[in-house]
Structure 1
Amino acid sequence: MTATVLPPSIEAAELSWQDGVPESARFGDIYFSRDNGLAESRYVFLDHNRLPERFRQVAPGGHFVIAESGFGTGLNFLAAWQAWREHQPDHPATLHFVSVERFPLRRDDLSQALSHWPELAPYAEALLSRYPPLTRGVHRLVFDGGRVRLTLYFGDIVEAWQALAFTADAWFLDGFAPASNPGMWLDETMAQIKAHSGPGTTLATFTSVGRVRRALANAGFDMRKTRGFGRKREMLTGTLDTPAIPGNAPASTDAGADTPKPSTLIVGAGIAGCLLAHNLAQRGFPVTLVDSAAHPGAGASGNRQGATYVKLGVEFNDQTELALTALTFSHRFYQPYRDQGWYPTGLLQLAWNAKEQERQHKFLERNDYPEEVLFLVDPEQARALTGLQVRTGGLWFPGSGWLEPARLCATLCQHPLIDSAFGVQVDRLTNQGPWRAVASDGRSFTADRVVICGGHRSPALLPDGDGYRFKAIRGQVTHLEEAKVQAPDAVICGARYLNPAHGGQALTGATFDLRDDNPTPTRASHEQNLTELDAMVPGVVTPNAETLDRCDGRVAFRCTTHDYLPVTDGVDDADGAPVSGLYLMTGLGSKGLSYAPVLAEFLADRLTGQPGCLPGRLVRRLASARLRAGRPATSKSEKTTET
């Protein structure tokens, strides 16, 4: 019987080890062949799906999708990744691997299992370094500079296939034997396999059980038996041979080598626009990035420092799952930029007053998060972690930290497929075949589609922009001389946040001014920041006249929505009809550094026709239609707040 586990955690696999081979205590079956698990993976799944030859045929900017029914130790993924490296085309293309696991392995068990194959060590180390926390739902892992993308669903297999959007080129039907785990081989699962396949999709499985063969044949696959691996006499292979369904063909065959990839114009070079431009360019799609400022990361992304932080709800609902997905994806995404704009110092969400202490108590009572995401610390632990004499403890996020946003934006723009134009104020957009953006100085830019990432200025470029419920929130940060403040060793968040010192200064803030459009820093806002900081961590700074006289700072206007959830979607006109080729990515509020990486990944998936990194229920939370006045709003029970 499965023990009840509070969300968002999921039960881990319980293993026994026989001669170094892991066996599931729950299902009584081994994870890979005792003879040679890697050789079996290559024979059953790679060879019988003809992957080496098919990999070489993927078009420029194209992709190949493998879907798998049981991730297990990740051996099949690593074997496919290694084969992709050896046989991938010599132009930009992406391997997608979509897999599901109901009882994922702990990282230590995964490491021990994969240690059998020294030749896979570089791949295994990369997987282990990005292996997600054991939380329910979708995890997107990116490898090889974007050429390999793993979509890993921790949860029930039928639930996974219903939630995810993809069309497989090849299936690895792996998992424990049907007699050990019949739930994985139900007819409902077979029907979902058909739903995620197109003409020419192939499959292979180690089993030759008759009911599995019949179920797949009933789903439309031309099935046959062939010689199995090692001591197994037979296995099954199949090909889906049905009339083409528009838009449902395997993506690797949707374009020839000479077909140009659609071009994209991105308006706005903040963190959202730069991440999206970089993501598309990695996949082989040309991008033009324009911004009215003189350099990237000059608007709301222009603060010297910014924390990677989200406020996780007491109830684990869709909003909380989106925030958690964004946070953990951002930690993986920023890994390569460590000490080059990304500083994973850890972050303390301080229980700084009675109300926050009560909220954190309820949060921990109703949820179970893996310690690699967060854990409770007492005042003594909090002082040791932050280096400050805080009075209370709180929630410690070991993977979080802070960024230099503008520095990261500048790095992301450096790609041969990104054409950047700064000092360009786009006044209007027209759609005359290709889209055309006209600037105030008379210059114009054309592209097949446009993505507006303009923050609080986005409505000016939208059809019927006044009908969207956006808010521009003034936020002033305060710069403090390092000698005049007790700077922490890690980020502290509460009524305000305080970052570690960098370049001789520490940064605190930010104000939350809903009805103030003053773009200039004010003494009153500095005083508000320092007073709130002193109340949160007494003695860290003295908010007196001398301190205020020496303060400087910066004002930025954060864009948020009426329900404080971001928007990443196509755009409708005033009549509710979709506007072809026009997209919107904004409303990230004060948590943009955490949300932007996964939203850029999601929108790039959509723009390139590749498997989606978010489940359908979270995609709906990002819809643009909800922002239109007069349209149904998010229900009261689903609303969230920004702090």
Structure 2
Amino acid sequence: MTRLLTHPTIDWKDDGTPVAREAGDVYFTAGDGLAETRAVFLKGCGLPEAWTGRDEFTIAETGFGTGLNFLALCELWQANRPHPDAWLHFVSFEGFPLTRDDAARALKTWPELKPYADRLLAAWPGPIRRVHHEVWQDLGITLTLHLGDIHDTLPQSEFQADAWFLDGFSPAKNEDMWAAELYGRIAARSKPGAVIGTFTVAGAVRRGLADEGFNVAKAQGHGRKRERLEATLLKPSTSAQDVYGLRGSASTAKRIAILGAGIAGASAAHALSVRGANVTVFDPAGIASGASGNPLALLMPRLDAGDTVQARLLIDAYLAARQTYSSMDGAHETSVRQMPKDTAELSRFAKLLADPPLPLEDLEAISGGGLLHKRAMILEPQKIVASLLEGVRVQIGTVNIDLRNRTVNGETFDAIIMANAMSAIQQFDWLKLEGRLGQVEFVTGATRVEADALASGHYALALNDERLWGATFEKIPQDADATTSDTAREDNAEALKKLSPWWRRDAKDHQVTSRAAIRATTADRLPLIGAVPNLEAMLEAFSGLRTGRAAETDAPLLPGIFLVNGFGARGFTWGPWAGRILAAMCLGGPVAAEVSALEAISPSRLILRALKRGEI
């Protein structure tokens, strides 16, 4: 299986009907597709009446296709939104995504959907195995699109649906989308009373749904189809144990405090405020005063040759960051030339290019065995962090925390998110965060140029009249201060010499300034994002792990306490992705990530791992 997905080959009938050549089936009937969507899925799921009076409503779909069902739903939601603060969440699964051009051609049939279609097409995802996420704040809509084989992506999803659209190609022509094993997965991700609408009345579908607790009934069909199915979940599935604490708050947190005004805290504040939360950020030193405060930063992907959990979540995080920053002042698109730093990396790059995780629009080979990362970015951190915090209340100065009562400076909150880097170990020493000192060198006043970047272990950046190079990543004691050193400056100078950017002479012709900051880092180099476990209760609940017994209960959590930390040297990569994870955990709705990725970044993993190793 290749890492990139395959676009379907589309044949177009004379009347404009798109046909998937490989499946031998139509996406919809030209001129009648929208009416069919309204009859089979919207009406079939009792919409809009079903969401009357609701604060949020989640609909899931098998087979995103052209996005027609989603767009029709957006139109219906805008006309019948229960109240101005209500949210509609749409989760869909697609293994063979259309190209943007094919989707645009298919959707132009319905000019009434153009405002929504234009918006969707502007952010149309490429053929990348990932979880694509959109938030349309003004409409109160989120889209979470799982791209990949549904037999892989559905088990890895985290949400509870009020309704389902089953809209794969005909069961006779696309058996995988209607396989018996999927009905149990659908039931497990459905709320009690969840409804299903679908165009097919195939016996295998009826039996599969009935076997998983759905009451299935035939209803009048649309157009040439005499019948369709409607189903209601009568027997809810038993929820799996939440060993890693992935479900976050038991209730929605509306008033949220965030400790830390760097990229981690600012990203969380942005994602939460977009979803309607009342957020206050506290920081003793100021906005972007620590590791997020360098004059320039580089956003480029960290790509692995293997298709691992870490490799996928790093790609998800990079694309989420690029999507978030693209419209912000202080983000400058560029291409990054990355040369292998040694023979091992040369071999890794070759394997990577043999089965790339990103399409040619983003990645290609260059001479010397290097990589060209297209559509990467040079960032101006102060501007980016300020943009993320726009409209958010920020308090600078003394910060007094009472986690038990969820108060900050005497003010009570529904939730507290700790984005305060190394300071977090004052409350939770079991985090065992490592401080890494990162020093960069920079000059100003050079010739003004467009954004340009080189990377090979270190990096060299040019933007306007600024040049920046570095960075070191030196382990330091927990109580050490962030101080610059001549040794680090020499290391960076040697790295600049090896990178050999065209502007290297500028480093000699202008006054060089050094800046150092401490980066909070975990032992496994993955961040800490999610609910904070109760250490004492965890040790008791999972004591059997010390003797090889399986974990068989939910993780006991500290109510309303969350972490977003341990970003290491990739703060601007992790920030936006982490923010959307926390928004779902605090406010409800689908989590836009794979379960394996959520487990990999869960704070609870540290305790579970230590118990298994007999370290605690």
Q: Which TM-score band (shorter chain)?
A: 0.7 to 0.9
What is the DSSP-based 3-state SS (H/G/I as helix, E as strand, rest coil) of the residue aligned with 2:474?
coil
1:352 positional shift: 5.6
For the residues of structure 2 that align with 1:299 and 1:448, how far apart are their CA atoms? 27
For the residues of structure 2 that align with 1:6 and 1:246, how far apart are their CA atoms? 33
What is the DSSP-based 3-state SS (H/G/I as helix, E as strand, rest coil) of the residue aligned with 1:51?
coil
Q: Does 1:33 align with 2:33?
A: no
Contact 1:455–1:558 under 8 Å retained in 2 = yes
Q: Does 1:359 align with 2:352?
A: no
For the residues of structure 1 that align with 2:347 and 2:207, how far apart are their CA atoms? 56
Q: Does 1:531 align with 2:494?
A: yes
Q: Does 1:603 align with 2:582?
A: yes
For the residues of structure 1 that align with 2:449 and 2:327, how far apart are their CA atoms? 26
For the residues of structure 1 that align with 2:418 and 2:291, how far apart are their CA atoms? 15
Q: Does 1:452 align with 2:418?
A: yes
Matches within 5 A, 1:367-446: 367=356, 369-378=358-367, 392=368, 394-415=370-391, 418-426=392-400, 428-432=401-405, 435-437=406-408, 443-446=409-412
For the residues of structure 2 that align with 1:183 and 1:356, how far apart are their CA atoms? 38
Q: Does 1:210 align with 2:203?
A: yes
Q: Partner letter of residue 323 of structure 2?
A: R
Q: Partner letter of residue 168 of structure 1?
A: A
Q: Does 1:322 align with 2:313?
A: yes
Alignment match, 1:559: 520
Matches within 5 A, 1:474-553: 474-483=437-446, 489-502=451-464, 504-515=465-476, 517-537=480-500, 540-542=503-505, 547=509, 550-553=511-514
Deviations, residues 160-203 of structure 1 (Å, cap 9, x unaligned) = 22111111111111111121122222322222221111222111
Contact 1:625–1:631 under 8 Å retained in 2 = no
Alignment match, 2:135: 142
1:236/1:460 Cα in 2 relative to 1: closer, same or farther (>3 Å)?
A: same
Deviations, residues 560-599 of structure 1 (Å, cap 9, x unaligned) = 1111111112223443253222221111111111111111
For the residues of structure 1 that align with 2:240 and 2:417, how far apart are their CA atoms? 22
1:314 positional shift: 2.1
What is the DSSP-based 3-state SS (H/G/I as helix, E as strand, rest coil) of the residue aligned with 1:590?
coil
Alignment match, 1:615: 594
Contact 1:495–1:536 under 8 Å retained in 2 = no
Which stretches in structure 1 are left out of the alignment for 5+ residues? 249-254, 379-391, 438-442, 635-643
Q: Partner letter of residue 414 of structure 1?
A: E
1:272/1:538 Cα in 2 relative to 1: closer, same or farther (>3 Å)?
A: closer
For the residues of structure 2 that align with 1:185 and 1:167, how far apart are their CA atoms? 20
Alignment match, 1:579: 558
1:39 positional shift: 1.5
Contact 2:53–2:83 under 8 Å retained in 1 = no
1:49/1:282 Cα in 2 relative to 1: closer, same or farther (>3 Å)?
A: same
Which stretches in structure 2 are left out of the alignment for 5+ residues? 242-248, 539-555
For the residues of structure 2 that align with 1:496 and 1:244, how far apart are their CA atoms? 51
1:160/1:430 Cα in 2 relative to 1: closer, same or farther (>3 Å)?
A: closer
Q: Partner letter of residue 388 of structure 2?
A: L
Contact 1:341–1:403 under 8 Å retained in 2 = yes
What is the number of equivalent residue pairs in this alignment?
584
1:348 positional shift: 2.4
1:633/1:148 Cα in 2 relative to 1: closer, same or farther (>3 Å)?
A: farther
Matches within 5 A, 1:171-320: 171-242=164-235, 261-294=253-286, 296-320=287-311
For the residues of structure 2 that align with 1:578 and 1:332, how far apart are their CA atoms? 32
Contact 2:336–2:454 under 8 Å retained in 1 = yes
1:156/1:260 Cα in 2 relative to 1: closer, same or farther (>3 Å)?
A: closer
1:539/1:374 Cα in 2 relative to 1: closer, same or farther (>3 Å)?
A: closer
Contact 1:55–1:84 under 8 Å retained in 2 = no
1:290 positional shift: 0.7
Alignment match, 1:10: 5
1:11/1:285 Cα in 2 relative to 1: closer, same or farther (>3 Å)?
A: same
Alignment match, 1:67: 60
What is the DSSP-based 3-state SS (H/G/I as helix, E as strand, rest coil) of the residue aligned with 1:11?
coil
Contact 1:471–1:562 under 8 Å retained in 2 = yes
What is the DSSP-based 3-state SS (H/G/I as helix, E as strand, rest coil) of the residue aligned with 2:222?
coil
Pairing partner for 1:87 from 73, 80, 91: 80
Q: Give the aligned CA root-mean-square deviation in angstroms.
A: 2.8
1:146/1:354 Cα in 2 relative to 1: closer, same or farther (>3 Å)?
A: farther
Contact 1:96–1:611 under 8 Å retained in 2 = yes
1:147 positional shift: 2.5
For the residues of structure 1 that align with 2:358 and 2:303, how far apart are their CA atoms? 11
Larger RCO, structure (CA 8 Å, separation 6 or more): 2
Alignment match, 1:22: 18
For the residues of structure 1 that align with 2:252 and 2:94, how far apart are their CA atoms? 37
What is the DSSP-based 3-state SS (H/G/I as helix, E as strand, rest coil) of the residue aligned with 2:26?
coil
Contact 1:310–1:591 under 8 Å retained in 2 = no
Q: Partner letter of residue 581 of structure 2?
A: F
Contact 2:30–2:109 under 8 Å retained in 1 = no
1:10 positional shift: 1.6
Q: Partner letter of residue 457 of structure 1?
A: S
Q: Partner letter of residue 25 of structure 1?
A: R
For the residues of structure 1 that align with 2:346 and 2:413, how far apart are their CA atoms? 51
1:55 positional shift: 4.1
Question: Which segment is superposed worse, 136-145 or 124-133?
Answer: 136-145
Q: Partner letter of residue 420 of structure 1?
A: V
1:565/1:420 Cα in 2 relative to 1: closer, same or farther (>3 Å)?
A: same
Q: Does 1:472 align with 2:451?
A: no
1:630/1:80 Cα in 2 relative to 1: closer, same or farther (>3 Å)?
A: closer
For the residues of structure 1 that align with 2:260 and 2:66, how far apart are their CA atoms? 42
Contact 2:201–2:229 under 8 Å retained in 1 = yes
Q: Partner letter of residue 587 of structure 1?
A: G
1:123 positional shift: 1.9
1:483/1:633 Cα in 2 relative to 1: closer, same or farther (>3 Å)?
A: farther
1:518 positional shift: 4.6
1:355/1:541 Cα in 2 relative to 1: closer, same or farther (>3 Å)?
A: farther
Matches within 5 A, 1:123-138: 123-138=116-131
Alignment match, 2:156: 163
For the residues of structure 2 that align with 1:94 and 1:22, how far apart are their CA atoms? 32
For the residues of structure 2 that align with 1:351 and 1:246, how far apart are their CA atoms? 46
Question: Which segment is superposed worse, 186-195 or 343-352?
Answer: 343-352
1:28/1:222 Cα in 2 relative to 1: closer, same or farther (>3 Å)?
A: same
For the residues of structure 1 that align with 2:558 and 2:524, how far apart are their CA atoms? 23
Contact 2:271–2:576 under 8 Å retained in 1 = no
1:423/1:15 Cα in 2 relative to 1: closer, same or farther (>3 Å)?
A: same
1:615 positional shift: 1.1
Q: Partner letter of residue 11 of structure 1?
A: T
For the residues of structure 2 that align with 1:361 and 1:263, how far apart are their CA atoms? 49
Q: Partner letter of residue 344 of structure 1?
A: E
Contact 2:137–2:275 under 8 Å retained in 1 = no
1:542 positional shift: 4.1
For the residues of structure 2 that align with 1:315 and 1:215, how far apart are their CA atoms? 36
For the residues of structure 2 that align with 1:43 and 1:629, how far apart are their CA atoms? 49
Q: Partner letter of residue 404 of structure 2?
A: N
